[in-house]
Chains A and B, each alone.
Chain A
């Protein structure tokens, strides 16, 4: 074996950096890195010089100065004396609200429409096709301003309620006006008060109590069900438990609500506006409707593609096993379709969240409207506000995609 000699030890030459494939990739990378760093440094340096020349170097201290403006939709305490950072936070919450509301309704609508489009009913499937093609091929900004315009022009103004030209609906509990919808609000006469979270915002103890009771009842009734399952498996006889489960689900919450003195506060026309109740503003509703309808068209297509991707043999096999149509859908088709549907669904959720930044077109005060809108205008700090805004959206996007990717991995076909 010692007959083999080692290959002649090559001395390193500079040309090898380029011609030798062992080193070439390294060279390319280092050149790219240097070019990137130099480019970035040049840009940052320019920006720093320009900003210094304008006398506004990069600093975020303005965020703690009073904002001076009011925001209509605020879920945490805020007034015009609060700092800009709090205004941004109010906007962030509004962004999250519209994103969650939009994603929920878009998913429901999208699934229904996607399934209906595959319906054997000619009229319904054609209508759904028309819906999808109409919404997909027109810009979402146009839908948003269009919905807002319909809202403002066709709904009655509050003054028409005074003159009797319009009336409240549902036993005088709900008012549909062009300023938004006024719906009853839950009130507690024996309220437990609020918890102050680090002095930043408050959480209602009543809400926490309701949620806690609901979760506990749910877990308890699941436990009852599990026990029944076990007995059934062991003995073949299923004990009758539905009344226990219904009772566990409803009695505790009813008792709690009674103890807390739950009642509804109804909106009433007082002065210029309706007072009391929850005010769902026209900007929120039109943004919500427009984003949901637009995104639903895309989700419907994804759902349709997902269902079509499940081969016909699967449903035939399910029928052969004697499963009913709904069992086939729930146990065979949907779980398989879901794997195809989820990746496009993730990107639609991301799109909807990012599209919610168009709220600025209808005056919904999301984070683009507060931080990159009024705060930017009032302070003139473009660099700082836009950096913050991008960071916020980046964080939201990355969290959505990581959560959904985690879920995707959980349901994905396990291949070995």
Chain B
């Protein structure tokens, strides 16, 4: 830590020497911490508290990766990125991975040269309107004024949706969620559109949430997931399989409460393989045997993280829906650990 502090000081002073760009894994191990790009503040997904500690659904993934690689979930530094800066930050090596509600699209994967390492949240773009407007379907929004948070795929989806339904609208582009909320509540726009998780989070902060409804239409698929730079397969594998370990842990019933018990050995060979008591999956990744144990121990399995930050008991109150395990009719599915 002392050493990294020193390096940080050097960087600030502008003496940053070009680091050898070997694999990201070696870099992270050498630095002693993971540099993770998150959003500048989205309730439930990534937000700093008043002491500057980051917490949230996306943040937990960063902590799990840090735990898997370095054994310490606290060995993460968070870089808040905006819609504009996120890809540059990743591409230029400023961050090692991006866990920031970023939609997996063809062009980002192929043209921008990133690797999407799985999906941690299945989202879709929706609309929120005041109940007093008397609108029950998005198809009735012809001529409406729509607040959009810029810098995402939402603008494109919105344009496509209204064009396909031969409707007109007045877009009001807005930079931050706080401003969108202000304009929406003051009636400067009729509709607020963004990812449905974001809508739910915003609605939860209203004084009278019951006066507003999220319309049933989902106009786009928004699979959100972590990204890494293309071409560093080992690092991408680590991020991908850390996420898969969290998902499998939920499926297999490994929780942060019983993990120490299970790590002593069980009858289920897959649990044993994940927790490193059987085989050497960690070694294949270039990590130690306990990698998945550490990752799950850091914040619990996928289900635990979901419930803690964005689940139905939180202010945001998202139900699992598409994000339930495949056995429960959802889409969350991990390839086998074999």
Contact = CB atoms under 8 A, between A and B. Distances in A.
Direct touch of chains A and B (CB < 8 A): yes
B58 interface: no
14 contacts: A54-B113, A56-B111, A69-B156, A70-B159, A72-B170, A81-B163, A152-B188, A157-B186, A159-B187, A272-B133, A272-B145, A272-B190, A380-B111, A382-B88
Contacts of A380: 87, 108, 111-112
Nearest to B92: A50
A39 interface: no
Contacts of A373: 84, 150-151, 173
A382 B112 CA distance: 12
B45 to A, nearest CB: 19
Interface stretch (A16-24, A125-133, A357-365): A357-365
Interface in B152-205: 152, 155-156, 158-160, 162-163, 169-175, 182-183, 186-190
A377 B171 contact: no
A178 B155 contact: no
Contacts of B171: 69-72
Interface residues of A, number: 40
Interface in A51-73: 54-56, 68-72
Contact of B163 (A54, A80, A283): A80
Interface of A: 50, 54-56, 68-72, 79-81, 149, 152-153, 157-160, 178-179, 270-273, 275, 282-283, 360-361, 363, 365, 369, 373-374, 376-378, 380, 382
A378 B160 CA distance: 14
B132 to A, nearest CB: 7
A361 B175 contact: yes
Contact of A363 (B83, B174, B186): B174
A374 B155 contact: yes
Contacts of A283: 172
Interface of B: 83-84, 87-88, 91-92, 108, 111-113, 132-133, 141-145, 150-152, 155-156, 158-160, 162-163, 169-175, 182-183, 186-190
Given A69-B155, A72-B170, 10 more contacts: A72-B173, A152-B188, A153-B182, A159-B132, A179-B188, A272-B133, A283-B172, A373-B84, A377-B84, A378-B155
Given A69-B156, A377-B150, A55 B182 contact: no
Contacts of A56: 111-113
Contact of B188 (A70, A72, A282): A282
Nearest to A158: B187
Given A273-B143, A363-B174, A374-B173, A152 B186 contact: yes
Contacts of A50: 92
Given A374-B150, A380-B111, A380-B112, A271 B188 contact: no
A83 to B, nearest CB: 14
Contacts of B158: 70
B211 to A, nearest CB: 13
Contacts of A374: 150-151, 155, 173
Which among A54, A360, A361 has the greatest number of chain B C-beta atoms within 10 A?
A54
A377 B83 contact: yes
A79 B158 CA distance: 13
Nearest to B170: A72
A272 B112 contact: no
Nearest to A373: B150
A315 to B, nearest CB: 51
B75 to A, nearest CB: 28
Which among B92, B141, B169, B172 has the greatest number of chain A C-beta atoms within 10 A?
B172
